[in-house]
Homo-oligomer: A and B are copies of this chain.
Amino acid sequence: MEEQHPHDRQENHDSPVEVRVVVFSLQEKKLQALFVPEDHADPGTRWTIPGMAVIGCPSLECIASECLSTYTNQHESYLEQLYTYSSPERGIISIVYFALVPQIAITTARQERPKQARWFPIDTPLLLVGDHAEILGYALRRLRYKLEYTAVGFDLLPENFSLSELQATYEIILGEKLDKRNFRRRILKANIIEPTPHQRAGEGRPARLFRYRHDAVAEVKTRRLFP
């Protein structure tokens, strides 16, 4: 079994089961994901999706949440199980989650973290360990897909946001331009955001700020798609 770190509980692969969390965030108008260097000293190091070994059988969700807070200082955020991978070659079963954290949560890593994690734009050509590139690709597809039928975009934004910021979030994740008027009409008709008394000043006319209505149903009632 490759790369043993006996004193490093986070990366202990003695157990054949681990939890990994693909953490997404928006930063500098780009969709970014969090990675941990395999060997911190090596400048040409390969990178890994943040993970923790599963010791015994606690709640997997709790381990994922703990992993998230260890690497991001972020407790509350969107967290969902993605898929469970087995790699017979590496002898590890990986239960993979994906998480969305708001821009605010992006802080530089604390020193006491097991390893210094770093954000990279998702289109950065990064040398990833094992099947982590495949896992990242799947997480990305799932994120884009979820965005189209759930209200998941709000988890990447701060509490209050302008409609333009919300639209930009969608455009960044989907990788395509959206029509401003159609976007606004639909998002308002969906009845999942509400105006706040606040405004955001800046260049140009100030924007009215909205917030997500937590009492709203997150899943849009789907029309039948097939047949």
Q: A: which residues have CB within 8 A of B? A: 16-17, 54, 56-61, 81, 83-84, 86-88, 91-93, 95, 145, 147-151, 170, 183, 186-187, 190, 220, 222-227
Q: Which of A17, A225, A226 has the most CB of B within 10 A?
A: A226
Tell me whether B57 and A149 are in contact (CB under 8 A): no
* A227→B181 CA distance, assembly (Å): 12
Number of identical protomers? 2
Tell me whether A148 and B226 are in contact (CB under 8 A): yes
Tell me whether A91 and B186 are in contact (CB under 8 A): no
Task: Give the residues in chain B near A190, CB-CB below 8 Å.
Answer: 226-227
Partner of A224, one of B60, B88, B148, B224: B148
Task: Give the residues in chain B near A223, CB-CB below 8 Å.
Answer: 225
Q: Given contacts A17-B17, A190-B227, A227-B186, is CB(A56)–CB(B91) below 8 Å?
A: yes
Q: A57-B86, A149-B222 are in contact. List 15 more A-B contacts (CB 8 A).
A: A16-B17, A57-B88, A58-B88, A59-B88, A61-B86, A93-B95, A145-B222, A149-B225, A149-B226, A150-B226, A170-B227, A183-B227, A190-B226, A190-B227, A223-B225
* A170→B149 CA distance, assembly (Å): 22
* A222→B18 CA distance, assembly (Å): 33
Please give the distance in Å from A121's CB to the nearest CB on chain B. Answer: 24
* A223→B147 CA distance, assembly (Å): 12
Q: Given contacts A17-B93, A91-B56, is CB(A225)–CB(B222) below 8 Å?
A: yes
Task: Give the residues in chain B near A57, CB-CB below 8 Å.
Answer: 16, 86-88, 91-93
Task: Give the residues in chain B near A187, CB-CB below 8 Å.
Answer: 227
* A72→B213 CA distance, assembly (Å): 47
Tell me whether A59 and B86 are in contact (CB under 8 A): yes
* A87→B93 CA distance, assembly (Å): 17
* A95→B47 CA distance, assembly (Å): 27
5 A-B pairs within 8 Å (CB atoms) are namely: A81-B83, A81-B84, A190-B226, A222-B225, A223-B225
* A222→B170 CA distance, assembly (Å): 17
Task: Give the residues in chain B near A81, CB-CB below 8 Å.
Answer: 83-84
* A226→B19 CA distance, assembly (Å): 30
* A31→B81 CA distance, assembly (Å): 27
